[in-house]
Structure 1
């Protein structure tokens, strides 16, 4: 599905990413974790075909940049995308159904007359996630958590092969965060073949259904692999250069700073 091998990205002679080898298969759910400036956004921009690598081998959904048959638009058609910043791009007076419809057209807003089939897709996804009562409401009248759940429905309406969640809980209160995380976990049965990339600064958002983790540090892979082998106290202590203890209880993580004498 997604194959990055010894990928390098430079800008103005400065290395932003170097030596990135990362393979994503159908059905995997990846945590992407790292401090500010680690290269997470640059990496996502390359995967979504909004930027290009300086060197290395890249294959996105069977397409190789620069070779015959490659199309940035075709790459993006395979991807659903949710972020905290995306929420701010929609007008407050936009109808929720139209926000979901815009996911079909890969646009911000709807600029064409939707077909009956497209309207049915939007209605069905809202019903699937128990949000039919939002359909005719103004997007701006919803709570931040409700808006983010609508954007998740928008991302999933075309049944993408890859779902990217870029800090989706940013700006949410506790209830909104937990409702969104529950929604993400509960959708698994309907989207078993879809791969997921989840970017966050907070391990508390990592739920029991994650399968793998990629930890970035200063533009390079710090750790990669099965999440139980990668997201550990030892790895995070080394990442932060600070002693931390990662606790795991009832399917959720908590990060605690240790004293030197711990």
Structure 2
């Protein structure tokens, strides 16, 4: 009997993919599928050390799912993801999460109602949610006071979590997220639910943070262009899980691109580094999809 020659004998071992050390998020042809439905993808996206990104799009666009993958909370269904230089699926996700500061409604729901704000913030440095029997240094408390003051929440230091308004909770979560001096800061609608004064105070702080060369890379989700702080450098527009546009923020947040994402004529303006959007005055009727 003749010998059968197969390609397996000559096959070379596959070289595992690598990433650029300056990329804190490196997604390549990533998809996220649940129940047979593709919620995100395919998406290729990179976030560098000194970049500040905003991810925007209508409800159901896939923003939160994308950010959960970027914060090492979810595994992709397809494609390759590197976070902080580590390949997702080939490293301990807990170590990755400890180096990422995150604010989100999911974090807020896990906080005990009777937790003191000061303890909630200071415990972030130890990767736990709230204080138990740990002893903290005076330096830890001083840092907690400083970050609470920076976000306009120093007066909440001794308050219980369950007594805070939605806007107050948002400020405290931002303080907790930056308490750890993270390499990557991910903000999921940080200004949602705030009154005008509280929102502007927070956006002022986030704008200062965005312009600080020593600050971590920042990725923020928002529904509203008005909630994008000055100083953000890049943007991604999503619609139904697909990228409408991504890149430098001025190139992405145009009337044409935003109109495509929201399926209606939208006018976008930029006033001293802040973006504003409204429906075109000549438009009649509506094509927005809830």
* TM-based fold match above 0.5: yes
TM-score normalised according to structure 1 size: 0.89
2:171 to 133, 144, 149: 149
**Aligned CA distance change for structure 1 residues 51 and 22 (closer, same or farther; 3 Å):** same
Partner of 2:42: 19
Partner of 2:183: 161
- Residue 278 of structure 2 aligns to a residue in which SS? strand
- Deviation of 1:19 after TM superposition, in Å, equals 1.6
Distance 1:121 1:240 in 2: 41
Distance 1:124 1:169 in 2: 20
**Aligned CA distance change for structure 1 residues 17 and 127 (closer, same or farther; 3 Å):** closer
The 5 Å alignment of 1:119-198 reads 119-127=141-149, 131-188=153-210, 192-198=214-220
Distance 1:251 1:135 in 2: 32
Distance 2:228 2:210 in 1: 15
- Residue 81 of structure 2 aligns to a residue in which SS? strand
Partner of 1:255: 277
1:57 aligns with 2:57: no
1:235 aligns with 2:257: yes
Distance 1:72 1:24 in 2: 19
- Deviation of 1:102 after TM superposition, in Å, equals 2.7
Distance 1:124 1:159 in 2: 13
- Deviation of 1:113 after TM superposition, in Å, equals 1.3
Q: Kindly provide the CA deviation profile for residues 170-206 of structure 1, in whole angstroms up to 9, marking residues without a partner as x.
A: 2111111111111212334656341111101101111
Partner of 2:52: 29
1:245 aligns with 2:267: yes
Aligned length: 259
Partner of 1:107: 128
- Deviation of 1:146 after TM superposition, in Å, equals 3.4
TM-score normalised according to structure 2 size: 0.81
Q: Residues 151 and 174 of structure 2 are in contact (CA less than 8 Å); yes or no, is this contact kept in structure 1?
A: no
- Residue 187 of structure 1 aligns to a residue in which SS? helix
Distance 2:105 2:196 in 1: 15
After alignment, is 127-136 or 47-56 more displaced? Answer: 127-136
Q: Which has the higher contact order (CA 8 A, sep 6+)?
A: 1
Runs (5+) with no aligned partner, structure 2: 1-23, 285-290
Kindly report the root-mean-square deviation, in angstroms, between the aligned alpha carbons of the 2 structures. Answer: 2.2
Compare CA radii of gyration and give the structure with the larger one: 2
Partner of 2:227: 205
Q: Residues 6 and 57 of structure 1 are in contact (CA less than 8 Å); yes or no, is this contact kept in structure 2?
A: yes
- Deviation of 1:84 after TM superposition, in Å, equals 4.5
